[in-house]
Amino acid sequence: MSNETLLSVKNLEVTFNTPKGDVHAVRGVSFDLGCERLGIVGESGSGKSQTGRAILGLTAANGKITADQMTFHDVDLANLTPKQWRKVRGARISMIMQDPKYSLNPVMTIGDQIIEAYREHHKVNAKEARHRAIDMLDAVKIRDPERVFNSYPHEVSGGMGQRVMIAMMLIPDPELIIADEPTSALDVTVQLQVMAILDDLVRDRGMALIFISHDLQLVSSFCDRVLVMYQGHVVEEIKASALHEAKHPYTKGLLNCLPKMDGDHSDLPILEREASWAEG
Ligand SMILES: Nc1ncnc2c1ncn2[C@@H]1O[C@H](COP(=O)(O)OP(=O)(O)OP(=O)(O)O)[C@@H](O)[C@H]1O
C-alpha cells in the first residue's frame, strides 16, 4: 500500500426520508484509502452499497448525505457542482455495478458504448477511439474483441457482459474503481475468472479498488484490508491477512460460517446477534 491517501471519508452518514420515517443507512463511517484494495463486507442492508454510492454522489433523491470530510485528493466530494462531478465520475473514480444487463444500453453496440465512455473524457478521433476500445476488450481477455465490439449486449453471456463493463469503466484510466458486487450475478467459475481479470488490471494500472461484497471469502482473497459493516456502522477494520485475528463477534460469526476444508461436516453455525454490535 502506498502511504499517500487518495480518499478520506470521515463520519459519513446517509439517511433516507421515507413515508414510514427515516432510514439511517450509513452511520458515521470513516476510513482512509491509499493505492490499495479495500473490501467492504457485510450482510444485506448493512450499508455497503450506500457507502460506495455516497462517495460518487449517486445517492437516491430521497437520501441525504453528511460527512465531516469526504475528499478525493484535494477534491471535496461533498460539495461538487454537476459540472465538477463530470470531471470526477467515470474519469477519476469509476463504479462497476452488479449486473451488466441493467448497466449496458441494449440498443447500442458494445463497441459504441466503450468508445462513448472513452471519448467522454479524452479528445481523440473515431479511429483512435476504436483502436483503444478493441485493445481494452483484449485487456479484459475477450478472445475475439472485433466480434464483441460489433455485438449488442444481449448477444454476449453474463460473464462476457461483465468483462465489457470492466473494459468500459477502466478505459478512461480512473485512479479508483468502486466495484459493487461485480460478480454476484455470475456462476462461481465465471465469477473467479472475472475477479482475476479485474485483479490483474487494478494491479497493472496502479489503481485503488473498493470491492463491495457480502462474500467474506472472496473479499479477503482479493483485498488488502477489509471493513466489516453491520447496521450502517463499520464494526471492524482489519488486514485481510489477519482476518483470523478478528475481534468483533459479528466478524467472528461470519468467519465461523465459512465452509472448512478440514473434513468437518457439522451444521453451519447460527449467527448470534447482540444489539450492542451496532453501537460502533
Ligand atoms: N432510496 C432508498 N430509500 C429508502 N431506503 C433505502 C434507499 N436505498 C437504500 N435504502 C436502505 O438503506 C439500507 C442500506 O442499503 P445498502 O444498499 O447500502 O445495503 P447493502 O449492505 O449494500 O445490501 P445489499 O447487499 O442487499 O445491497 C437498506 O436498509 C436499504 O433498504
Average pLDDT of the chain to the nearest whole number: 89
- Return the residue whose CA atom lies nearest to atom 3 of ligand 1: 16
Predicted local distance difference test score (pLDDT) of residue 28: 97
Q: Give which of 198, 100, 115 is closest to 150, Cα–Cα.
A: 115
Q: Any bridge partners for residue 93, and if so which?
A: 89, 176
Q: Give which of 184, 258, 176, 279 is closest to 216, Cα–Cα.
A: 258
Predicted local distance difference test score (pLDDT) of residue 1: 47
pLDDT at 3 over 80: no
Confirm or reject: Cβ of 58 under 6 Å from ligand 1. no
* CA distances, 151 to each of 4, 77, 105 (Å): 41, 36, 12
- Return the residue whose CA atom lies nearest to atom 22 of ligand 1: 49
Percentage of the chain exceeding pLDDT 70 = 92
Band of residue 264 on the pLDDT scale cut at 50, 70, 90: low
B/e letters for 74-83, b = 16+ CB within 10 Å, e = fewer, are ebebbebeee
Band of residue 250 on the pLDDT scale cut at 50, 70, 90: confident
**Angle between the 158-170 and 126-139 helix axes, to the nearest 10 degrees?**
130
Q: Give which of 24, 76, 84 is closest to 50, Cα–Cα.
A: 24
Could you report the per-residue pLDDT of 70-80, keeping only the tens digit for each? 999 999 999 99
ipTM tops the 0.90 cut: yes
- Provide the whole-model pTM: 0.90
Q: Are 234 and 38 in contact (CB under 8 A)?
A: no
- Distance in Å, CA 45 to ligand 1 centroid: 5
Q: Any bridge partners for residue 171, and if so which?
A: none
Round to whole Å and give the CA distance between 96 and 39. 14
Number of DSSP helices (H) and strands (E) in the chain, helices first = 10, 11
- Report DSSP state, residue 270: P
Could you report the per-residue pLDDT of 195-220, keeping only the tens digit for each? 888 898 899 999 999 999 988 888 98
Testing ligand 1's pocket by substitution, the residue of 40, 50, 178, 235 carrying the most ligand atoms inside 8 A of its CB is: 50
Round to whole Å and give the CA distance between 46 and 23. 12
Confirm or reject: Cβ of 165 under 6 Å from ligand 1. no
Confirm or reject: Cβ of 85 under 6 Å from ligand 1. no
Q: Radius of gyration over alpha carbons of the chain, in Å?
A: 19
- Distance in Å, CA 49 to ligand 1 centroid: 7
Round to whole Å and give the CA distance between 241 and 53. 27
pLDDT at 10 over 90: yes
Band of residue 269 on the pLDDT scale cut at 50, 70, 90: low
List the grid coordinates of 116. 462513448
Q: How far is CA 205 from the centre of its chain?
A: 17
CB atoms within 10 A of CB 233: 20
- Return the residue whose CA atom lies nearest to atom 2 of ligand 1: 16
> For the ranges 18-27, 218-227, 254-263, which has the lowest average pLDDT?
254-263
Confirm or reject: Cβ of 49 under 6 Å from ligand 1. yes
Could you report the per-residue pLDDT of 171-196, keeping only the tens digit for each? 988 999 999 998 887 788 888 888 88
Round to whole Å and give the CA distance between 171 and 175. 11
Could you report the per-residue pLDDT of 31-50, keeping only the tens digit for each? 999 999 999 999 899 999 99
**Candidates 3.40.50.2000, 1.10.760.10, 3.40.50.300, 3.30.565.10; correct CATH number of 1-81+213-280?**
3.40.50.300
Confirm or reject: Cβ of 48 under 6 Å from ligand 1. yes
Q: Are 94 and 165 in contact (CB under 8 A)?
A: no
